[in-house]
């Protein structure tokens, strides 16, 4: 059993290299050609739980250096998917980011009102300008917001979503999704492929 | 071209041309033919940059038929520059250093956790044909498929030979500066550093080395008795002072002469207010890590694989100040005063660039040459500027205090770096106009945070004469010690660098900076600063005027 999990983690790492392609050389990225998600090997190696997280009242900063009150951002009626990344991470963040990049294509028309949020867990290094460059390199669209902020606030957010692991280099793959304010958060631990995320997302939206 | 080849061969083989006199240098390197050097150069380019023999990006196929090319396909992306691989969370990328590939894998693995990670597979040693099969067809030395994450590379024979030669030599020898008994470090002193400042740094560092030696004084005997890696890693630390003199164009030759006399594994600490670029370039060229020099003017752009800095120095101060000044209400010109030395020019140029936006206030330069008289300071404050930025050291500020005190109400912004972290002359702060670009935290929090270092100084009988220098010197030594503890007997400088990226944020010993962290490729530990109001009497505390600013 244990071996299975390790193998599948490697399976997803396959995507890490693809992600790096998208990040480091946008010309060879395939994020939006519509069939990119078909490149992922499904693993089923993730855990889904339902959690009643409360959104902390913090003011973060977006890639345009504008203040963003997290509660207000999440108060809209749109469904949301959220993850935690940092821009110099070379192992798991490229995978998570690449998955987010492929989700809209995998969702098709249903992607129209989905909001993607990536929160940096390396706020000291990930300045708004750094996030902007990163978002541009992976071809993030308008509905995908990258946030940074004060170190303490970023920690508060991670604590609120039970994703704080002491140091950014210890972080684990995690996706959070929620249909609307007042609904519970669905927590996906591990690497889910875009198709798997979409499957979970549809359950969330239809629940 | 051959020059480049030669320099790469130097780096690949641990600078044999320079080393020569250490027991661990490769004798074969001395007779390396031009062909061999060119082959290693190509292998290194494939490994580090993903560039093939033709100069074009390599083509590879990743999992699920994904096309990869160039840098994305470079081995070093996953296996890292050292070849020691990496691990984060559940991910483990195996080491592919020469000794690992060339070793038969027969060691029985009993622990389930380790078994799960390395797999139960046993394999013979890799040979050149087996390595070619692994790289091209994805089969390991025993014929079993490699993990699908490992891409398949379409290398031609020339490229494959080059990559094999490179991989079989990768981290095969310990980096220079380490022998079976000792591990050598050096700290660089630029000209113009006050003797007491230099002493403050060196005393802390030597005390640390003495302490370390005392703690392991019997462990060399244990090393002989056991075969555990932990025992094998014990080395006596030796710290050398590399004191530079004369013009900066001559420093490279001086550094090389020091290095030739005794290669060092890494530079630690170091101090100076002139441009650090020659030392930076030396470290890049010889692939020597440099850990936390107390440099006012570090190299803030361009290639940086080996030079770790505490912060971007005066450049960071100028950017933080620009951010603060841009947000201040009202308008009016700002005057900056600086000397035409490296630190002054760099600070002034950075502030000018950072304020070169349409909405920003106008900036006027006043350069200070020789002694400034009252007439000079009158021109600085003429026309009642909205602010005066003084990129000056303590001596100049002492001269400026009296004439500037008369121009009351004009905020004066001072540099922490150029004041060597010490409060300016009381006459300058007496008017209540002095503000500081301040990289640390304020009392009482600061005192609480730095207590650990101060207790250490106390225990070692070291008087606190230059707090900033001493705190940062101890921090640098502690970080290096932590990293050396992690690498054990894998004495690879690249591996050292990769571990250091992880360790810095976790080191319990404080630096002057309230927040330090690094990550892959990050080279500046502290990234922000704040603006504080200096009190006009010493009975009061400085007051923060801005939040923490990360420009």
> In this predicted complex, what is the ipTM?
0.73
Q: pLDDT digits over B131-142, tens only?
A: 999 999 999 999
Task: List the single best residue of A1, A5, A9, A10 to mutate versus B (max B Cβ within 10 A).
Answer: A10
* Nearest chain A residue to B74, by CA: A17
Per-residue pLDDT, A8: 38
Per-residue pLDDT, B45: 96
| Chain A residue numbers touching B521 (CB-CB < 8 A) | 88
Per-residue pLDDT, A191: 79
Lowest mean pLDDT among A156-170, B22-36, B391-405: B22-36
Which residues does B contribute to its contact with A (CB < 8 Å)? Answer: 62-73, 77-78, 86, 88-91, 112, 116-117, 147-149, 151, 502, 505-506, 515, 517, 519-522, 527-528, 547-548, 550-551
Confidence of residue B86 (pLDDT cuts 50, 70, 90): confident
Residue B262 has pLDDT above 70, yes or no: yes
Average pLDDT, whole number, for chain B?
Answer: 88
Contacts of B132 (CB under 8 A, 6+ apart): B155, B160, B164
Per-residue pLDDT, A39: 47
Size of interface A-B (CB pairs under 8 A): 117
Q: Do residues B510 and B449 lie in contact, with contact meaning Cβ atoms separated by under 8 Å?
A: yes
Per-residue pLDDT, B520: 87
Lowest mean pLDDT among A98-107, B59-68, B172-181, B205-214: B59-68
List, in sequence order, every beta strand (DSSP E) within B443-499.
Answer: none
CA angle A151, A153, A158 (to 5 degrees): 95
Between CA A183 and CA A202 the distance in angstroms is 14
Confidence of residue B286 (pLDDT cuts 50, 70, 90): very high
Beta bridge partners of A116: A81, A144
Q: Which of A6, A92, A169 sits opposite B519 (nearest CB)?
A: A169
| Chain A residue numbers touching B65 (CB-CB < 8 A) | 39
- Is B505 close to A125, i.e. CB distance below 8 A? no
- Is B91 close to A122, i.e. CB distance below 8 A? no
Q: Do residues B417 and B425 lie in contact, with contact meaning Cβ atoms separated by under 8 Å?
A: no
Percent of residues, chain B, with pLDDT higher than 90? 67
Confidence of residue B170 (pLDDT cuts 50, 70, 90): very high
Q: How many helices (H) and strands (E) does chain A have?
A: 6, 8
| Stronger pLDDT, B194 or A25, i.e. the higher one | B194
Confidence of residue B65 (pLDDT cuts 50, 70, 90): low
Q: Which of B149, B527, B547 sits opposite A124 (nearest CB)?
A: B527
Q: How many CA atoms lie within 13 A of B298 on its CB side?
A: 29
Per-residue pLDDT, A92: 76
Per-residue pLDDT, A99: 85
Question: Both tokens of residue B446?
Answer: 């600061």
Lowest mean pLDDT among A62-76, A84-98, A113-127, B426-440: A84-98
CA angle B457, B439, B507 (to 5 degrees): 50
Q: Which of B72, B117, B519 sits opposite A17 (nearest CB)?
A: B72
Contacts of A4 (CB under 8 A, 6+ apart): A45
**B4-18, B45-59, B249-263, range with greatest mean pLDDT:** B249-263
| CA-based nearest residue to A118, from A99, A108, A105, A106 | A99
Percent of residues, chain A, with pLDDT higher than 90? 51
Element containing residue A190 per DSSP (H, E): strand A185-190
Q: Do residues A138 and A102 lie in contact, with contact meaning Cβ atoms separated by under 8 Å?
A: no
B315-438+531-544 classified as CATH 3.30.499.10: no
Q: pLDDT digits over B467-526, tens only?
A: 999 999 999 999 999 999 999 889 999 999 999 998 998 888 999 999 899 988 999 999
Q: Do residues B46 and B52 lie in contact, with contact meaning Cβ atoms separated by under 8 Å?
A: yes
Q: Do residues B192 and B274 lie in contact, with contact meaning Cβ atoms separated by under 8 Å?
A: yes
Question: Both tokens of residue B209?
Answer: 């080395």
Lowest mean pLDDT among A43-57, B162-176, B211-225, B478-492: B211-225
Alpha helices, DSSP H, located in chain A: 2-24, 70-73, 93-107, 128-137, 151-160, 194-206
Lowest mean pLDDT among A91-100, B307-316, B334-343: A91-100
Q: Do residues A147 and A82 lie in contact, with contact meaning Cβ atoms separated by under 8 Å?
A: no
CB of A151 within 8 Å of a chain B CB? The answer is yes
* Nearest chain A residue to B502, by CA: A169
| Stronger pLDDT, B232 or B469, i.e. the higher one | B469
Q: Do residues A149 and A143 lie in contact, with contact meaning Cβ atoms separated by under 8 Å?
A: no
CA B526, B532, B536, B538 torsion-angle sign: negative
- Is A17 close to B89, i.e. CB distance below 8 A? no
Q: How many residues does chain A have?
A: 207
| Chain B residue numbers touching A28 (CB-CB < 8 A) | 67-69, 72
Task: List the single best residue of A169, A189, A190 to mutate versus B (max B Cβ within 10 A).
Answer: A169
β B91-93/B86-88 pair status: antiparallel
pTM: predicted TM-score of the whole model, two decimal places: 0.85
Lowest mean pLDDT among A100-104, A156-160, B339-343: A100-104
Confidence of residue A79 (pLDDT cuts 50, 70, 90): very high
Q: Which of B62, B70, B73 sits opposite A14 (nearest CB)?
A: B62
* Nearest chain A residue to B522, by CA: A88
Q: How many residues does chain B have?
A: 551
Between CA A195 and CA B81 the distance in angstroms is 34
**Omega cis (within 30) before B195:** no
Q: pLDDT digits over A138-173, tens only?
A: 889 999 999 999 999 999 999 999 999 888 877 888
Between CA B392 and CA A51 the distance in angstroms is 56
- Is B69 close to A28, i.e. CB distance below 8 A? yes
- Is A24 close to B89, i.e. CB distance below 8 A? no
Q: What are phi and psi of A62, to 5 degrees?
A: -90, 180
β B266-268/A46-51 pair status: unpaired
Element containing residue B436 per DSSP (H, E): strand B434-438
Per-residue pLDDT, A2: 35
Beta bridge partners of B307: B290
CB of A124 within 8 Å of a chain B CB? The answer is yes
Dihedral angle computed from the Cα positions of residues A77, A83, A84 and A89, in that order, rounded to the nearest 10 degrees? -140
Q: Do residues B77 and A23 lie in contact, with contact meaning Cβ atoms separated by under 8 Å?
A: no
Looking up tokens 């502690």, which residue turns up? Answer: B478
- Is B63 close to A15, i.e. CB distance below 8 A? yes
- Is B91 close to A9, i.e. CB distance below 8 A? yes
Task: List the single best residue of B56, B59, B62 to mutate versus A (max A Cβ within 10 A).
Answer: B62
Residue B10 has pLDDT above 80, yes or no: no
Lowest mean pLDDT among A169-178, A183-192, B164-173, B223-232: B223-232
Residue A195 has pLDDT above 80, yes or no: yes
Q: Which of A91, A125, A151 sits opposite B86 (nearest CB)?
A: A91
Displacement of CA B442 from its chain's centroid (Å): 26
Question: Both tokens of residue B515?
Answer: 């927040």
CB of A122 within 8 Å of a chain B CB? The answer is yes
Residue A26 has pLDDT above 90, yes or no: no
CA distance B462 to chain A (A): 33
> DSSP assignment, residue B123?
B
CA distance B339 to chain A (A): 31
| Chain B residue numbers touching A40 (CB-CB < 8 A) | 64
Residue A19 has pLDDT above 80, yes or no: no
CATH architecture of the domain B182-311+446-520 equals 3-Layer(aba) Sandwich (3.40)
| Chain B residue numbers touching A193 (CB-CB < 8 A) | none
Count CB-CB contacts under 10 A for residue A71: 14
Buried b (16+ CB within 10 A) or exposed e, B231-254: bebbbbbbbbebebeeebeebeeb
Per-residue pLDDT, B467: 95
CA distance A47 to chain B (A): 15
- Is B520 close to A88, i.e. CB distance below 8 A? yes
Residue A76 has pLDDT above 70, yes or no: yes
**Could you give the residue range(s) of every CATH 3.40.50.2300 domain in chain B?**
182-311+446-520, 315-438+531-544
């Amino acid at each position: 059993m244990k071996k299975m999990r390790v193998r599948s983690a490697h399976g997803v790492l396959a995507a890490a290299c693809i992600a790096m392609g998208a990040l480091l050389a946008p010309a060879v990225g395939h994020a939006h050609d519509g069939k990119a998600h078909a490149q992922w090997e499904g693993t089923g190696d993730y855990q889904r739980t339902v959690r009643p997280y409360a959104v902390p009242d913090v003011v973060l900063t977006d890639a345009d250096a504008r203040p963003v009150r997290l509660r207000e951002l999440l108060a809209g009626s749109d469904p949301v998917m959220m993850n935690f990344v940092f821009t110099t991470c070379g192992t798991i963040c490229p995978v998570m980011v690449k998955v987010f990049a492929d989700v809209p294509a995998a969702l098709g028309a249903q992607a129209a009102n989905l909001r993607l949020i990536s929160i940096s867990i390396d706020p000291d290094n990930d300045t708004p300008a750094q996030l902007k460059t990163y978002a541009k390199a992976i071809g993030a669209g308008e509905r995908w917001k990258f946030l940074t902020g004060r170190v303490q606030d970023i920690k508060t957010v991670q604590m609120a979503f039970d994703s704080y692991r002491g140091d950014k280099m210890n972080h684990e793959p995690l996706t959070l999704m929620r249909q609307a304010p007042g609904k519970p958060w669905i927590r996906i631990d591990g690497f889910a492929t875009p198709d798997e995320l979409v499957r979970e997302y549809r359950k969330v939206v239809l629940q | 071209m051959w020059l480049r080849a030669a320099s790469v061969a130097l780096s690949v083989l641990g600078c044999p041309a320079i080393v020569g006199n250490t027991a661990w240098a490769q004798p074969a390197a001395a007779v390396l033919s031009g062909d061999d050097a060119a082959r290693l150069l190509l292998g290194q380019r494939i490994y580090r940059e993903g560039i093939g023999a033709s100069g074009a990006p390599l083509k590879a196929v990743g999992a699920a038929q994904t096309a990869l090319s160039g840098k994305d396909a470079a081995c070093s992306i996953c296996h890292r520059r050292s070849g020691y691989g990496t691990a984060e969370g559940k991910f483990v990328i195996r080491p592919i250093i020469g000794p690992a590939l060339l070793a038969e894998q027969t060691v029985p693995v009993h622990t389930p956790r380790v078994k799960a990670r390395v797999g139960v597979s046993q394999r013979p040693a890799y040979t050149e044909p087996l390595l070619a099969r692994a790289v091209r067809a994805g089969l390991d030395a025993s014929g079993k498929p490699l993990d699908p994450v490992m891409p398949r590379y379409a290398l031609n024979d020339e490229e494959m030979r080059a990559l094999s030669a490179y991989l079989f030599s990768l981290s095969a020898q310990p980096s220079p500066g380490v022998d079976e008994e000792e591990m050598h470090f050096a700290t660089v002193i630029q000209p113009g550093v006050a003797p007491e400042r230099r002493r403050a740094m060196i005393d802390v560092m030597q005390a640390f080395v003495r302490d370390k030696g005392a703690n392991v004084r019997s462990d060399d005997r244990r090393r002989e008795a056991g075969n555990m890696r932990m025992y094998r890693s014990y080395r006596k630390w030796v710290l050398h002072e590399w004191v530079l003199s004369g013009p900066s164009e001559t420093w490279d030759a001086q550094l090389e002469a020091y290095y030739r006399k005794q290669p060092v594994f890494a530079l630690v600490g170091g101090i100076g207010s002139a441009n650090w670029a020659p030392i930076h370039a030396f470290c890049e060229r010889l692939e020597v890590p440099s850990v936390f020099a107390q440099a006012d003017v570090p190299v803030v752009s361009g290639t940086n694989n080996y030079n770790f800095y505490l912060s971007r120095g005066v450049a960071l101060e100028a950017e933080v100040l620009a951010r603060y000044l841009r947000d201040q209400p009202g308008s009016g010109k700002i005057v900056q005063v600086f000397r035409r030395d490296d630190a002054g020019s760099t600070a002034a140029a950075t502030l000018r660039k950072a304020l070169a936006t349409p909405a920003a206030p106008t900036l006027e330069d006043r350069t200070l040459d020789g002694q400034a008289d009252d007439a000079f300071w009158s021109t600085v404050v003429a026309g009642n500027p909205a602010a005066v930025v003084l990129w000056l050291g303590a001596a100049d500020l002492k001269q400026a205090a009296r004439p500037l005190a008369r121009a009351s109400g004009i905020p004066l912004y001072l540099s922490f770096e150029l004041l060597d972290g010490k409060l300016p002359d009381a006459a300058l702060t007496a008017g209540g106009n002095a503000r500081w670009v301040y990289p640390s935290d304020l009392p009482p929090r600061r005192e609480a945070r730095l207590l650990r270092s101060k207790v250490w100084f106390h225990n070692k009988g070291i008087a606190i004469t230059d707090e900033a220098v001493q705190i940062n010197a101890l921090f640098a030594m502690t970080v290096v010690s932590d990293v050396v503890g992690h690498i054990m007997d894998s004495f690879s400088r690249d591996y050292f660098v990769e571990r250091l990226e992880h360790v810095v944020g976790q080191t319990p010993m404080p630096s002057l900076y309230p927040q330090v962290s690094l990550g892959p490729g990050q080279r500046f530990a502290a990234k922000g600063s704040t603006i504080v109001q200096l009190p006009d009497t010493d009975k009061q505390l400085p007051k923060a005027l801005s939040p923490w600013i990360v420009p």
